[in-house]
Amino acid sequence: MKYRVGVIGGGQLARMMTVPAINLGIELKVLAETANSSANLATTVVGDYTNLETVLDFAKGVDVITFDHEHVPLKILEALEAKGISVQPNSKALAHAQNKLVMRQALEAIGAPNPRWLAVSTPSELDGFIAENGPEVIVKTPIGGYDGKGVRVVRSASDVSDWFEPSTLSSLGGKLLAEQKVAFVREMAQLSARSPSGEFKAWPIVETRQKNGVCSEVLAPAPNTSSELVAKAMEIAKLISTSLGVTGNLAVEMFETADGKLLVNELAMRPHNSGHFSIEGSTTSQFEQHLRAVLNLPLGDTEVPEAAVMVNLLGVSDEVDFVENYPELMRSFKSAKLHSYGKSPRIGRKLGHITVIGQTHESALATALQARAAILGLQ
Amino acid sequence: MKYRVGVIGGGQLARMMTVPAINLGIELKVLAETANSSANLATTVVGDYTNLETVLDFAKGVDVITFDHEHVPLKILEALEAKGISVQPNSKALAHAQNKLVMRQALEAIGAPNPRWLAVSTPSELDGFIAENGPEVIVKTPIGGYDGKGVRVVRSASDVSDWFEPSTLSSLGGKLLAEQKVAFVREMAQLSARSPSGEFKAWPIVETRQKNGVCSEVLAPAPNTSSELVAKAMEIAKLISTSLGVTGNLAVEMFETADGKLLVNELAMRPHNSGHFSIEGSTTSQFEQHLRAVLNLPLGDTEVPEAAVMVNLLGVSDEVDFVENYPELMRSFKSAKLHSYGKSPRIGRKLGHITVIGQTHESALATALQARAAILGLQ
């Protein structure tokens, strides 16, 4: 007997799932887009995840299907489910991570804290929303956005006139999502996991710092955070995952407002960049937890140290590989734990991350930033 | 550019090297005996490591050759070296781990602490050694022994008359190794790593507990151990690895005697069962350190917590796989970190291990033993 998990998508999240799969003797199979994906070691099928035959064939050899990303069309997942294949999270839950309008509606229905929002299908509807909530608001494409793509700050509907083009709008489902531009004091993320049996475990909320819409640093647990806020964040995650039937990991990206409120920004139903610190910085890493959750195995503990800091390594060149800076990193930054995603370099591409566990966030962050500069050759 | 390491042997040590290889983006290739080996994920060639063509072909795609075990014939390694291929540890160093007589002679020459020993080629030589050092002595085959195999406690040369059969004796190199049966208070192991540049790092010495000649539990760092003994053990390891030109990991198995002396029992030049605790229980795991050392990269720190305990999981049946006890283990032993080697069950086979980090060795050991009983279904 062996537990067998099939992951659709061959990115760094699937790659990092490979490690707990090795430790626990779980057979991990990956359906990757290309042979040279980040998760190439566990790749058993290279193919198109929008092709039903490909996905059905891949699913034959595993006990459960889960994901490296949320781009698999729902109709593919519904077809798997119709054949009795276990999909975790299932298509009903995943719909909320694929479509931001579906998410806003559901969060409103269950009483989770949304910013003010509106589904807009015409420029005049958007201008009306801006008049009430402006001068600036956020407009998002309901589907297909990630890492800052599909998101714009606008002062007028004319700033997204391209998205209102009939063919574009129709491809996006006929509506855009307009959201209040929240005057937040910081961005945070609440990571948790839930199993089909209903067991739920959450890590303490973390602080996330973005650059150009992409996660740059994560401080875990979030510094200067009251126990009330920590409890409130877990409560929101539990409400969402239970109400929406999420299984596996759930990341709830949130804004903290000046008056100490949390507002939900985005949802992800898979391991998440905000949880990479947990590989070294928690009893159970988010990648192990996700595998345990989708297999309906008991979940692991989620204790964290005083201070863990994760910094992303984004490519600074299309040519230079950071591998040549390994000696300097390893010589000078003994506490920096490097994770490479095995990708070829490209400006702005997530190539890896570094985690530092420290006594304080200040010291861990300082070390992590210096280590990042060293490996990226920016010193 | 990519670092590329070739490992000969597809056992659990190669399997556990896969994890730091994923983390660091090192291309790990394994020459395994069978397609279904422990290290199957990283296996690129299935073949015979005693066949020069097979090994040469395997070596083409990597920067350095290293090992999961020490059974590769020296003449194969010498042939690789003659072609300019980097072999770490090299054939000269590895000779000491392959042949216990070569080891005893070398340790004596460099002044490392041996028990009393003698190379014996006739029964009467052995009986003479017994008369001086008996009533019981240890006899070892110089080559081919591991996990208690090739080792006997004898009172008379007639107890190893089979090994003195001319054909057997000749296959063993013409001599047996007789050793004083050391009246030890405990067995210990000193793990270290050395790179070709000469950098050396050691973990604190650990206590190892064997059952039937096979490692059963490891307590790290060794409890109730003076700082003098810790320093002395590191000194011995440094002397050996430097004098013998060892690169990569070196495990020195030792006896602690009643009068507080350390005597060398065995050497291994690779990751070692006594160092598995380091995966969770040290800044740098022994598997990462070995890869860094053989690649001549700067070595990592070797700090350890107050108490780490590792227990081996040996098969208790030829049929029952411990996978069915995962739910119980994961539910009841939150601090037990499981490592499966992905092997089919067999009585006495090393199927995996569990590590527990605790406040004290007593509490960590108690938890680890209970966790072992749970996963092996012995409760």
Q: What CATH number does residue A33 fall under?
A: 3.40.50.20
- Same-domain check for residues B293 and B329: yes
How would you write A170-202 as a 3-class SS string?
Answer: HHCCCCEEEEECCCEEEEEEEEEEECCCCCEEE
- Same-domain check for residues B170 and B209: no
Nearest CB to B42; choose among A41, A334, A335: A41
Distance from CA of B344 to the nearest CA of A (A): 9
CB contact under 8 A, B298 and A327: yes
- Same-domain check for residues A198 and A303: yes
Residues of A in contact with B327 (CB under 8 A): 297-298
- Same-domain check for residues B66 and B80: yes
Nearest CB to B41; choose among A22, A301, A340: A22
- Same-domain check for residues B370 and B273: yes
> How many folded domains does chain A comprise?
3
Residue A175 lies in a domain: yes
Distance from CA of A273 to the nearest CA of B (A): 15
At residue A146, the pLDDT reads 60
- B12, B22, B349, B351: which to substitute to probe chain A, counting the most A Cβ within 10 Å? B22
Domain boundary among A69, A87, A105: A87
At residue A148, the pLDDT reads 61
Q: Is residue A82 classed as helix, strand or coil in its secondary structure?
A: helix
- Report how many Cβ contacts below 8 Å link chain A to chain B: 84
CB contact under 8 A, B323 and A2: yes
CB contact under 8 A, B23 and A297: no
- The residues, any chain, with a CB within 8 Å of residue A167's CB and separated by 6 or more, are none
- B13, B23, B38, B301: which to substitute to probe chain A, counting the most A Cβ within 10 Å? B23
At residue B147, the pLDDT reads 60
- Percent composition of chain B: helix, strand, coil (DSSP 3-state, to 5): 35, 25, 40
Residue B111 lies in a domain: no
CB contact under 8 A, A323 and B1: yes
CB contact under 8 A, B24 and A340: yes
pLDDT tens digits, chain B, 379 residues: what are they?
Answer: 789 999 999 999 999 999 999 999 999 999 999 999 999 999 999 999 999 999 999 999 899 999 999 999 999 999 999 999 999 999 999 999 999 999 999 999 999 999 999 999 999 999 999 999 989 999 999 987 666 678 999 999 999 999 999 998 998 889 999 999 999 999 999 999 999 999 999 999 999 999 988 899 999 999 999 999 999 999 999 999 999 999 999 999 999 999 999 999 999 999 999 999 999 999 999 999 999 999 999 999 999 999 999 999 999 988 878 999 999 999 999 999 999 999 999 999 999 999 999 999 999 999 999 999 999 998 7
CB contact under 8 A, A3 and B326: yes
Residue B97 lies in a domain: no
Strands A27-32 and A43-46: parallel
- Same-domain check for residues A166 and A193: no
Nearest CB to A15; choose among B3, B22, B298: B22
CB contact under 8 A, B22 and A2: no
Residues of B in contact with A298 (CB under 8 A): 327, 330-331
Residue A76 lies in a domain: yes
- Same-domain check for residues B327 and B366: yes
Distance from CA of B24 to the nearest CA of A (A): 5
At residue B144, the pLDDT reads 73
- Residue A311's closest CA among A248, A218, A214? A218
At residue A120, the pLDDT reads 96
Instruction: Please give the residue of chain A at the shortest CA–CA distance from B341.
Output: A25
Domain boundary among B87, B104, B133: B87
Residues of A in contact with B199 (CB under 8 A): none
B100-110 vs B91-98: helix crossing angle, rounded to 10: 110
- B24, B290, B291: which to substitute to probe chain A, counting the most A Cβ within 10 Å? B24
CB contact under 8 A, A330 and B292: yes
Strands A214-220 and A176-180: unpaired
Q: Exposed, middle or buried, A123 (CB in 10 Å: 0-12/13-18/19+)?
A: middle
Instruction: Find the distance separating the first CA and the last CA of chain A, reported in whole Å.
Output: 51
At residue A296, the pLDDT reads 98
Residues 7-66 of A with CB under 8 A from B: 15-16, 18-19, 22-25, 41-42
Distance from CA of A302 to the nearest CA of B (A): 10
- Same-domain check for residues A169 and A124: yes
Nearest CB to A338; choose among B1, B24, B42: B24
Residue A103 lies in a domain: no
Instruction: Please give the residue of chain B at the shortest CA–CA distance from A39.
Output: B22
Nearest CB to B323; choose among A1, A42, A300: A1
Contact between residue B87 and residue B65 where contact means Cβ atoms under 8 Å apart: yes
Distance from CA of B159 to the nearest CA of A (A): 42
Residues 304-363 of B with CB under 8 A from A: 321, 323-324, 326-327, 330-331, 334-335, 337-342, 352
Q: Which domain holds residue A156?
A: 116-180
At residue A222, the pLDDT reads 98
- Same-domain check for residues B257 and B370: yes
At residue A111, the pLDDT reads 97
CA atoms within 13 A on the CB side of B350: 21
Q: Exposed, middle or buried, A88 (CB in 10 Å: 0-12/13-18/19+)?
A: buried
CA B295, CA B297: separation in Å to the nearest integer? 5
pLDDT tens digits, chain A, 379 residues: what are they?
Answer: 789 999 999 999 999 999 999 999 999 999 999 999 999 999 999 999 999 999 999 999 899 999 999 999 999 999 999 999 999 999 999 999 999 999 999 999 999 999 999 999 999 999 999 999 989 999 999 987 666 678 999 999 999 999 999 998 998 889 999 999 999 999 999 999 999 999 999 999 999 999 988 899 999 999 999 999 999 999 999 999 999 999 999 999 999 999 999 999 999 999 999 999 999 999 999 999 999 999 999 999 999 999 999 999 999 988 878 999 999 999 999 999 999 999 999 999 999 999 999 999 999 999 999 999 999 998 7
Domain boundary among A138, A162, A180: A180
Gyration radius of chain B's alpha carbons: 20
- Same-domain check for residues A238 and A352: yes
Q: What CATH number does residue B234 fall under?
A: 3.30.470.20
Q: What CATH number does residue A121 fall under?
A: 3.30.1490.20
Q: Exposed, middle or buried, B212 (CB in 10 Å: 0-12/13-18/19+)?
A: exposed
CB contact under 8 A, B340 and A292: no
Residue B103 lies in a domain: no
Nearest CB to A3; choose among B22, B299, B323: B323
Look at chain A and count its residues.
Answer: 379
Residue B94 lies in a domain: no
CB contact under 8 A, A24 and B326: yes
Residues of A in contact with B297 (CB under 8 A): 326-327, 330
Residue B17 lies in a domain: yes
CB contact under 8 A, B297 and A334: no
CB contact under 8 A, B330 and A300: yes
CB contact under 8 A, B301 and A24: no
Instruction: Please give the residue of chain A at the shortest CA–CA distance from B343.
Output: A25
> Mind listing the pLDDT tens digit for each residue in B151-162?
999 999 999 999
At residue A379, the pLDDT reads 73
pTM of the prediction?
A: 0.95
Contact between residue A299 and residue A292 where contact means Cβ atoms under 8 Å apart: yes
CA B243, CA B240: separation in Å to the nearest integer? 5
Nearest CB to A338; choose among B16, B23, B338: B23
- Residue A275's closest CA among A212, A330, A201? A201
Residues of A in contact with B292 (CB under 8 A): 330
Nearest CB to B338; choose among A23, A42, A301: A23
- Same-domain check for residues A188 and A336: yes
At residue A147, the pLDDT reads 60
- Same-domain check for residues A371 and A227: yes
CA A78, CA A95: separation in Å to the nearest integer? 11
- Tokens matching residue B156: 């008379």
CB contact under 8 A, A301 and B335: yes
Instruction: Please give the residue of chain B at the shortest CA–CA distance from A357.
Output: B283
Residues of B173-200 as b/e, b for ≥16 C-beta within 10 angstroms?
A: eebbbbbbbbebebbbbbbbbbbbeeeb
Supply the DSSP string of A6-62, one letter for each residue. EEE--SHHHHHHHHHHHHHT-EEEEEESSTTSTTGGGEEEES-TT-HHHHHHHHTT-
CA B377, CA B339: separation in Å to the nearest integer? 16
Residues of B in contact with A340 (CB under 8 A): 23-25
CB contact under 8 A, B25 and A323: yes
